[in-house]
């Protein structure tokens, strides 16, 4: 039930904001949608018997995190600035000292230090890293999360298969897969979803739903094709199923112990990471969690220190939690942004956009841990990193780690066959 485009949002906002769950079975029956609501016992049995497929959690560092202040510091050099480095759980590998908790857990991860992209603009760079393709004006590409939801369907899942948590200026899209693979966006993580709390009495809401169905049927008469293209019916059905589902509780952290919430951090991003764990545990295929604030053209070092305090706690807690619950083997964790920052420090004590050698972290699923791929020039002279990894290669690696055939071709709406990824998996990063 995407909330990112007007045709997909108006209906759930109007209906889901007002429908009480305890009367939804009756309302669904009145709408002729009771087929969406199988008996609770049957749904619970289906969930218990379901083999856990792999899921993807993407921690999106919006704005372009500096590789030099995160996973690829070069202290004591002209380009290193004041950032210090600390040892990690991978022998001989150091990361920025603002990440002590992640450093202790780095053995769960593999690190790519040589990502390259041809896009240095925020929106275009985000598209490139999220999809593995450069933007195309005639063919919108699906984000990795949408591909995961499409290629790894989950039976018995009432809540959306692709969820985006937090405010993101350039969220992932379903692209040519269609609007139904857009993410369900939750701007304030940790609550019981959004626009799902009733504001009218039960009987009134039931009358609204019945009246809405009557209007829909009259409007759709003779307009089948254009009405279908709006995803109006799909959104209505998804909203009704979601509002009646026990799985909706996965969006709320009210029942989490105080110690767990504290470990993630009492921040929107920390709560988003905790919700992400709950969602994949419920069977959601892909979750994006966004942390904004990395566009540090000025005050780069203080800006990154502030973001590190949030990210270090949340990422460490997420990996611990996934491992403790036997979810890490089935969950790929990607930590990335749209590009890195320049080796040169500008007059405002900042760094500018740099897509020519930046870093990301990968863990879980089919990712081989403890690997370090590529290297950047500590003097900032060489523009090209050692062993460059394109954003297409990153996409292929993530899909392969999810168990998805990254070479599979889909026929796009414009009649053009296109692979799920145009790169190849990074050698040594995906278990055979």
Does residue 336 belong to any structural domain of this protein? yes
Give the contacts of 55 (CB within 8 A, at least 6 positions apart).
Answer: 148, 152, 280, 284, 285, 286, 287, 330, 331, 332, 402
Do the domain assignments include residue 83?
A: yes
Domain encompassing residue 93: 53-194+247-419
Domain count, the chain: 1
DSSP lists the bridge partners of residue 111 as: 361, 372
pLDDT (tens digit per residue) in 124-165: 999 999 999 999 999 999 999 999 999 999 888 989 999 999
Examine residue 22 and state whether it is found in any structural domain, yes or no.
no
Is residue 35 one of the residues assigned to a domain? no
Say which CATH number the domain at 371 has. Answer: 3.40.720.10
| 332 belongs to a structural domain | yes
- Res 4: pLDDT: 37
Q: Residues with Cβ < 8 Å from 411, sequence gap 6 or more?
A: 417
- pLDDT at residue 193, as a whole number: 63
Q: Which residues of the chain have pLDDT under 50?
A: 1-50
What is the pLDDT, as a whole number, of residue 374? 98
The burial class, CB within 10 Å (0-12 / 13-18 / 19+), for 173 is: buried
> Would you say residue 393 lies in a domain?
yes
- How far is residue 176's CA from residue 193's CA, in Å, rounded to a whole number? 27
Q: What is the pLDDT of residue 234?
A: 66
Residue 172: count of CB within 10 angstroms of its CB = 27
pLDDT at 229: 67
Single pTM value for the model: 0.85
Identify whether 369 is part of a domain.
yes
- Domain-located, residue 133: yes
Distance CA 182, CA 414 (A): 19
The pLDDT, as a whole number, for residue 31 is 46
Please list the residues that pair with 199 across neighbouring strands.
none
């Amino acid at each position: 039930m995407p909330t990112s485009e007007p045709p997909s949002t108006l209906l759930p906002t109007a209906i889901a904001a007002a429908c009480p769950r305890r009367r939804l079975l009756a309302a669904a029956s009145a709408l002729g949608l009771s087929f969406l609501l199988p008996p609770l016992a049957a749904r619970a049995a289906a969930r218990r018997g379901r083999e856990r497929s792999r899921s993807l959690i993407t921690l999106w560092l919006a704005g372009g995190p500096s590789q030099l202040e995160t996973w690829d510091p070069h202290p004591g050099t002209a380009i290193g600035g004041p950032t210090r480095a600390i040892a990690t759980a991978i022998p001989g590998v150091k990361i920025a000292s603002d990440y002590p908790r992640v450093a202790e857990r780095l053995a769960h991860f593999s690190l790519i230090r040589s990502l390259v992209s041809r896009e240095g603009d925020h929106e275009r760079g985000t598209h490139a890293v999220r999809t593995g393709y450069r933007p195309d004006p005639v063919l919108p590409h699906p984000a990795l999360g949408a591909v995961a939801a499409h290629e790894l369907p989950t039976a018995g899942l009432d809540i959306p298969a692709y969820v985006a948590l937090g405010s993101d200026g350039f969220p992932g899209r379903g692209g040519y897969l269609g609007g139904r693979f857009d993410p369900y966006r939750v701007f304030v993580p940790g609550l019981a979803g959004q626009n799902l709390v009733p504001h009218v009495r039960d009987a009134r809401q039931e009358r609204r739903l019945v009246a809405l169905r009557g209007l829909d049927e009259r409007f759709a008469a003779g307009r089948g094709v254009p009405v279908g293209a709006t995803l109006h019916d799909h959104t209505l059905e998804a909203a009704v199923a979601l509002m009646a589902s026990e799985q909706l509780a996965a969006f709320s952290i009210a029942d989490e112990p105080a110690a767990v919430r504290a470990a993630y951090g009492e921040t929107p991003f920390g709560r988003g990471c905790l919700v992400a764990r709950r969602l994949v545990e419920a069977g959601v295929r892909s979750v994006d969690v966004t942390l904004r604030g990395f566009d540090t053209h000025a005050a780069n070092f203080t800006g990154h220190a502030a973001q590190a305090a949030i990210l270090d706690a949340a990422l460490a807690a997420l990996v611990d939690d996934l491992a403790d619950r036997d979810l890490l083997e089935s969950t790929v964790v990607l930590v990335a942004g749209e590009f890195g920052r320049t080796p040169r420090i500008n007059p405002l004590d900042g760094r500018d956009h740099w897509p020519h050698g930046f870093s990301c972290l990968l863990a879980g699923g089919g990712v081989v841990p403890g690997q370090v791929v590529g290297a950047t020039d500590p003097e900032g002279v060489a523009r090209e990193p050692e062993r460059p990894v394109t954003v297409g290669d990153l996409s292929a690696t993530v899909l392969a780690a999810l168990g998805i055939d990254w070479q599979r071709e889909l026929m796009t709406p414009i009649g053009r066959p296109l692979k799920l990824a145009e790169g190849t998996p990074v050698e040594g990063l995906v278990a055979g």
